Structures are given as C-alpha cells and as structure tokens.
Amino acid sequence: MNEIKKIAENLIMGLPIVRSFTCQLLINQASYKQHGTGIFVNIGSKYFLFTAAHVLDDIEKIFIPMENGETLLKPGGQIIKNTINGDRENDDLDVGILVLDKDTICDLREDYCFLNENQIGLNHIPIDFHSYLVFGYPTTMSKKSISRNSFHTIPFFNFTKCVSKETYKKINRQDVFNLVVAYDRKNIPNLKSKTISFGPNLFGISGCGLWFVNPYIINEKPKLIGIMNEWSKLNKSLLIATRIDAYTEVLRKYNIIDFPESDLFSFS
C-alpha cells in the first residue's frame, strides 16, 4: 500500500514539472483563441518548440501567452514539418518543429523552462500501468474575459495507460511510429472543481506531450516519449501520439543536433 502511495505521489509531483515546459499556442490576438499546445526542448546548443505539424500549418497566426496572458509573443525561427500527399487527417507522423531564434529564446525564458535532453525517452517500450501523463490545453477550457480584461485557462491532464498492440491495427497506426493511450472520458480529474468528472472535448491539445513517469524509480523526473496529435475519430476512447523518436530523427537528418539514433527507425 505504501508503495502504491509513493507511485501516486510521484505522478502528482510530475505535474508542475511538465507544466513548466508546456505552452499554449493561440491564433487570434484579440480573442486569444486556443489553437494548439507545444513543448519547449533544449538539445545541445539548440532550442525548440515541439508540436504537431497541423498546428504549425498556421504558424503565421500563432502567438504564445506570456505573463499569465497579459502579453503575447510571436515566436520566430526555422520551421521543420513533414509533408504528406493529401490532408493532415491521414498523417501518421504529424511532426512539427520550430527551431527557435535567439530573440524568442531570450523572451521565453522569462516565463517558461526548456526540457533537458536527458528527459527525452527514446525507444520507449510500453508497460501495462497507469504511468503515462497527457498534459495540454483544450480550447473549451481557455478564454479571454473582455469585461475583466484577463485571460483564464485550466490545463487538462490525464494519467493513463498504453493500449494493446492489437488496437493499433484497428485504427491504422503502427507502434513503431505511434504511441496510443486510453482516454477514459468519464473519469477525468478536474482542477477547477477538484473532483473526478466528465472530460472535455480535446480540440486544442494537439502538440502537447505524452510523458512517462517511471513507477519503479521514485523521484525520477517525467520523460517525454511522444507528442500528441490525434483524438481518434474511429474510437473516441483513444488518444494518438507520434513517438519522440520521430522528432529527434528529423533533427538528426538535417544535422541540427548531435543525439543518439533511435533503435526503432531512421530518416537518414
């Protein structure tokens, strides 16, 4: 019983850590419309915003809230995203990366932290345990109050588990590229009411992190193992992420980072 309590405490302790690396991506400067979520990452001498490619398709409209939403930052840098034949709905990878410029990095450090490369979990082998964390910002839980001239947002988080390999085949996904976790919408923690309630529509969390909190190593920091890109249309109880390996392999391909090669696949 004490061991289970320690595991639960370890999961909860990971929330503020994950939040410090996670940002909202807004597309309307007047109304602060929530469009997607992103993760700030530092590898070597480079600094990145990791998100979904379909989020970065609107990069010209994107702003990042600063100072609790009092100001908005227009991020700058080199855009890298995978291209596909057809629409993004059929994109298994959906990899979106912004290699941040120096001015953007300097501004972001006032409000956010950058994930250290040691917290990137390549070659992740799923375990049958509720030790996975999804943390992002749904559109329905973020809004700007015109009357009070203030910005209000409540993050969504869900401790969950990976699904069986057989499930991947049913939704046309490959476990070498993707990680699929369960979304039990009837039992989601609500930070506002501090209760378990019915979960929100998840539009807006695309680009947020999928994190692994090791239940066997107490006090180990959460590791980023994927970037969420889809709430399955075939099965609303499933959330789909692109493995973080795809992001590091893309950056390795362009010789932007010196980082270990994934054992799962290579783009070079």
Residue that the structure tokens 């912004």 belong to: 98
pLDDT tens-place values along the chain, 268 residues long:
466 677 778 778 889 999 999 999 999 888 889 999 999 999 999 999 999 999 999 999 999 999 988 899 999 999 999 887 777 776 778 999 999 999 999 999 999 999 999 999 999 999 989 999 999 999 988 887 766 667 888 899 999 999 999 999 999 899 999 999 999 999 887 766 778 889 999 999 999 999 999 988 888 899 999 999 999 888 899 999 999 999 999 999 999 999 999 999 988 7
Q: How far apart are CA 32 and CA 191, in angstroms?
A: 21
Q: How far apart are CA 229 and CA 248, in angstroms?
A: 17
Checking phi first, is residue 20 left (phi over 0); if not, alpha (psi -120 to 50) or beta? alpha
Per-residue b or e along 57-83, where b marks 16 or more CB atoms closer than 10 Å to that residue's CB: eebeebbbbbeebeebbebbbeebbbe
pTM of the entire predicted model: 0.94
Say what the pLDDT of residue 1 is: 47
195: part of which helix (H) or strand (E)? strand 195-197
CB 41 within 8 A of CB 47: yes
37: tokens are 């979520």
Q: Are 119 and 133 in contact (CB under 8 A)?
A: no
The span from the CA of 234 to the CA of 65, in Å, is 33
Calpha distance 206→72 (Å, rounded): 20
Chain segment 113-151, per-residue pLDDT in tens:
999 999 999 999 999 899 999 999 999 888 877 666 678
Residue 50 · residue 38 · CB < 8 Å:
yes
Q: Determine how β-strand 64-66 pairs with β-strand 46-52.
A: unpaired
Q: For position 31, what pLDDT does the model report?
A: 82
Round to whole Å and give the CA distance between 71 and 149.
12
Confidence at residue 137, expressed as pLDDT on a 0 to 100 scale: 96
Q: Which domains does the chain have, with CATH numbers?
A: 2-253 (2.40.10.120)
Give the closest residue to 212 by CA, choosing from 137, 138, 114, 120.
120
